[in-house]
Structure 1
Amino acid sequence: MTPNKEDYLKTIYEIGERGSKITNKLIAELMQVSAPAVSEMVKKMLTQEWIVKDKVAGYLLTDKGLSLVTDLYRKHRLIELFLIQHLNYSTDEIHEEAEVLEHTVSDHFIDRLEILLGNPDFCPHGGSIPKKGQALIEVNKQTLAEIEQTGHYKLVRYHDNFQLIKYMEDHGLAIGLSFELLEIDPYAATFTIHYQDKSLAIPQQIAREIFVSEQ
């Protein structure tokens, strides 16, 4: 299995997690590839029974596809944690490095790495780390975009992509941050939060990739 196919599977999983319909166009936009390239890859994944077509969702991962995605996330998230804890990588450096390593290291290496790290449950971005042989089940699943009431919340997870990571760091938004949701503006599609003596209006598109819990 090539890294390219693995990246497609992860993208399909992440789109599905947002609740968006998984279309070839959206896959192409997120992966920054051409529409014909997506069409060709989707045909291969359908043939190999990693995904199936669905009228509502667009595509769904099969058990076989979900198993592959689970393995990828286990590798990626353990590698990220190792890079931060043992090699002093910054959070904006780890993603690209982990993307490369997840395709090259062996399962035996990852098993040993998990032990070294003390069998952690979460990655640096708050994502759940599945145990060997178990399905990927995200503990933190409520997005900021799904919140309907103002009040006090805590940042518990955000999606692992470079642009979002940069946005979070630029605005001082870190895992564990407590904040007050001041306003939900349906017309402007923004969520205004207050934290550390400052306010920030977060666009709905970004709010869909940030996960929170009530305080």
Structure 2
Amino acid sequence: MTPNKEDYLKCIYEIGERKEKITNKLIAEMMQVSAPAVSEMVKKMLAQDWILKDKVAGYLLTDKGQLLVTDLYRKHRLIELFLIQHLHYSTDEIHEEAEVLEHTVSDHFIDRLEILLGHPDFCPHGGTIPKKGQPLIEINHQTLAETQQTGNYKLVRFHDNFQLLKYMEEHGLEIGLEFELTEIDPYAATFTLAYNEKNLAIPKLIAKEIYVLAR
């Protein structure tokens, strides 16, 4: 499989994880390619039984496609952890490097890497690292945007994209941070967090990419 096809599969998985209808337009926006390019790739992926069309979801990963995606995430997340723990990369540096390496390293290399790292359960961003041959089931799956009650929570996961990483760093938001959700404003579509003697109103668009656990 080519790196381009692998990226399309991950794109479809990530859009689906946000519970949006997976359309050609959304794929094009996320992949930063033209609509005709998406249409051509979707045809190939349908023909190879990696995805199927669905009236409600737009596209769905088949079992075959899900296994491929799981393997990609296992590679990517183990590589990210290695880059931070052993090569001392910063959190905003690891994603691009891992994107390149995940397409080039062998399964044998990843198996050995997993042993070296002690069979970890989570990547630096809190994403679940699937075990070899096992499906990818995210342990932390409640987003801040889905939270309906104020109270005490812990930040346990966030999506892996550069702009979000810079936002998190700027506001001192990191995995393991304990905070109080003091206000949910439906009109302004914001979620106000109190932590480290500060208050931060997070827009719903960003709250959809942050995962929390009630304390």
Equivalent positions of 1:64-103 (< 5 A) are 64-103=64-103
Q: Secondary structure at the match of 1:92?
A: coil
Which residue is 1:24 aligned to? 24
CA positional deviation for 1:58: 0.7
Aligned pair 1:57/2:57, yes or no?
yes
Please list, as runs of the form range in 1=range in 2, the aligned pairs for 1:34-45 lying within 5 A after superposition: 34-45=34-45
Shift of 1:212: 0.3
Deviations 1:127-152 (A, max 9, x none): 00001111111000000000001111
Gaps of 5+ in 1: none
Q: Which residue of 2 is the match for residue 191 of structure 1?
A: 191
2:131 corresponds to 1:131 = yes
Q: Which runs of 4+ in 1 moved over 6 A?
A: none
SS for the counterpart of 1:134 is coil
Q: Which residue of 2 aligns with 1:10?
A: 10
Distance in structure 1 (CA, Å) of the matches to 2:192 and 2:22 = 28
Q: Deviations over 1:5-46 (max 9, x none)?
A: 111111110111111111111111112111111111111111
Deviation of 1:169 (Å): 1.0
Cα separation, 2, equivalents of 1:166 and 1:205: 15
More displaced, 26-35 or 56-65? 26-35
Q: How does 1:104-123 map to 2 (within 5 A)?
A: 104-123=104-123
CA distance in structure 2 between the partners assigned to 1:14 and 1:91 by the alignment: 20
Paired residue total: 215
Query: Which range is displaced more, 184-193 or 172-181?
Result: 184-193
**Residues 27-70 of structure 1, C-alpha deviations (whole Å, 9 max, x = no match):** 11112111111111111111111000011111100000000000
Query: What is the alpha-carbon distance in structure 2 between the residues aligned to residue 34 and residue 199 of structure 1?
Result: 40
Aligned Cα RMSD in Å? 0.7
Q: SS at the partner of 1:33?
A: coil
Query: Could you tell me the TM-score, scaled by structure 1's length?
Result: 0.98
Q: 1:150, 1:126 → 2: CA distance?
A: 22
Structure 2: gaps of 5 or more residues: none
